[in-house]
Structure 1
């Protein structure tokens, strides 16, 4: 199976190594120092229990890699426009594109049913390029549960031994194309499950992002330090309750208790990826990860006072740093 990883940050580098170890003919789209490092020595994943290594064909030009059976997109939301413009040479008639990213995905209302079925979220696809050039029929949803960071170009460190990926079809079907990808990655050591309710899993991961990323952006502290402060814990709990209310109003159940999320946060000595972006001077996903919750809340008339405040503060922090990398959320009908 030919799999191309589009984006070689922490998540992309980790998945690439697992794909290669799982037996796939794996290639990578990367650029700059990361591309040079991959060409020179491949990718190293520093896991708690062992060090993993793999080498790859890598390029900044998709045409150099050719048609794939699957493409796994792991870039941040601000880079999705470039993905849409350049991914074409990787796509054949049957190529599936798995989006393993944080936040509400661009295809969210495709085959969702209900009153908003078919709506386009222009938050991360403002010109409709992903919808038009890739198409939601090719898309698989992917939710990554892995605390990881880039130590240096081509070197990824995992914060814990428990890492998993959940994937699923927007329409809820249990398909052979999803199973093939899951089998490869699981064989490579990344537990990958196929779900028929991918939107529930999206919201479940979003709870972790909400609890950790916003306050971390404001404090530049690790998650455990933040959660140990009672006022911060109360703010986390309020944001989680509001997020769950929005999810349920849209017909989804994250299936996670607030106490469980808080317990996880108190044990997580890790800087969330959005804080890593701030400290590295990279564009931040404030709107596409957090602001979109406010827009979805408006659609179903759910009040979110704590989220309104905290997302606004995080947006101002990113804007002050010159790193507000995504556009204000807009929702348009298809």
Structure 2
């Protein structure tokens, strides 16, 4: 989507970011900087820092503090035109139920989450509320309370929805390249496969993508993981993008220093989304009769790491 010549005359959006971690803080920062009314809803430590100092946005080009409203309450979605739904896939139903009483009928929910079924799970809670799956390509991390670092990319692909064209115009004008897709399921599966290929390996080694692909033997293992995912997708009736192998390879080139979100969760002793990434492929494979031994192994190893960290208090 490209910005129209008249987009500057359009009223600003009211945007609530639910689960404002690194992804939500980054996009919220750009929208706030562009003049939109943004409320970040997140953990107390982040909220307190943002209230005191503004949101610190650190990129390759700049290091700035952006004034933005911050809250710990789900009630703060009230009045929003758009909700960026950025909670972990494990918390989708719980978070949807928390915000449901406060949503206006017109409020558009954008699911900026890993996995391919969060929008469906959300609709089971929110009913006829407008919900659109959104594919995110961005490398970010929280460097401290209220401090988000951006390492690369930053574009969105949104499922077709009534407010989609206007959201895409406003977001693109704010420096967030945003496209509308009539086949977002294909894009979601491509992102899922990329996550399955990189996330667990990055988590288990605690190494970034560039390091992973430089190791002898990694390419063959990544191909095994991707091939299993593709076989499950095909059996599930998903038409994958023709350039998917190039998209997988491009991640290590465009985000060489990025630790996966799964690696970041493991290092902080937080629950990972592994059951909604490689684990989802394993479950769909079992249902559809497609073997997924590489993905099953990665899921188990990450689960064991989580359990070990929990038991030792690390």
- TM-score category, normalised to shorter length: 0.7 to 0.9
Deviations 1:128-185 (A, max 9, x none): xx4443236521111110011111111111112x32111114xxxxx44112222222
Q: Which has the higher contact order (CA 8 A, sep 6+)?
A: 1
Q: Does 1:46 align with 2:58?
A: yes
Question: Unpaired runs of 5+ in structure 2?
Answer: 1-12
Q: Distance in 2 between matches of 1:252 and 1:142?
A: 17
Task: Give the TM-score normalised by structure 1.
Answer: 0.82
Report which stretch shifted further, 255-264 or 243-252: 255-264
Q: Does 1:140 align with 2:94?
A: no
- Structure whose residues are more often helix by fraction: 2
Matching residue within 160, 168, 185 for 1:182: 168
Matching residue within 76, 79, 86 for 1:67: 79
Shift of 1:322: 2.6
2:9 maps to none
Shift of 1:218: 1.5
Report which stretch shifted further, 261-270 or 138-147: 261-270
Matching residue within 245, 269, 285 for 1:258: 245
Q: Relative to structure 1, is the Cα distance of residues 61 and 310 closer, same or farther in structure 2, using a 3 angstrom cutoff?
A: closer
Give the 3-state SS of the residue equivalent to 1:3 in structure 2.
strand
Q: Does 1:248 align with 2:248?
A: no
Q: Distance in 2 between matches of 1:263 and 1:40?
A: 39
Matching residue within 135, 138, 141 for 1:149: 141
Shift of 1:66: 2.5
Question: Unpaired runs of 5+ in structure 1?
Answer: 109-124, 170-174, 324-334
Q: Distance in 2 between matches of 1:204 and 1:136?
A: 27
Q: Does 1:312 align with 2:306?
A: no
1:235 maps to 221
2:96 maps to 84
Contact 1:67 1:89 in 2 (8 A): no
Q: Does 1:167 align with 2:158?
A: yes
Matching residue within 28, 34, 56 for 1:16: 28
Q: Relative to structure 1, is the Cα distance of residues 94 and 151 closer, same or farther in structure 2, using a 3 angstrom cutoff?
A: same
Shift of 1:300: 2.2
Matching residue within 215, 218, 237 for 2:201: 215
Q: Relative to structure 1, is the Cα distance of residues 302 and 132 closer, same or farther in structure 2, using a 3 angstrom cutoff?
A: closer
Q: Relative to structure 1, is the Cα distance of residues 193 and 322 closer, same or farther in structure 2, using a 3 angstrom cutoff?
A: same
Q: Relative to structure 1, is the Cα distance of residues 239 and 65 closer, same or farther in structure 2, using a 3 angstrom cutoff?
A: closer
Matching residue within 35, 39, 42 for 1:27: 39
Give the 3-state SS of the residue equivalent to 2:163 in structure 1.
helix
Q: Does 1:272 align with 2:272?
A: no
Q: Relative to structure 1, is the Cα distance of residues 136 and 202 closer, same or farther in structure 2, using a 3 angstrom cutoff?
A: farther
1:6 maps to 18
Contact 1:26 1:57 in 2 (8 A): yes
The count of aligned residue pairs is: 297
Task: Give the TM-score normalised by structure 2.
Answer: 0.87
Shift of 1:29: 1.1
Contact 1:22 1:185 in 2 (8 A): no
Q: Distance in 2 between matches of 1:203 and 1:102?
A: 10
Q: Relative to structure 1, is the Cα distance of residues 64 and 299 closer, same or farther in structure 2, using a 3 angstrom cutoff?
A: closer
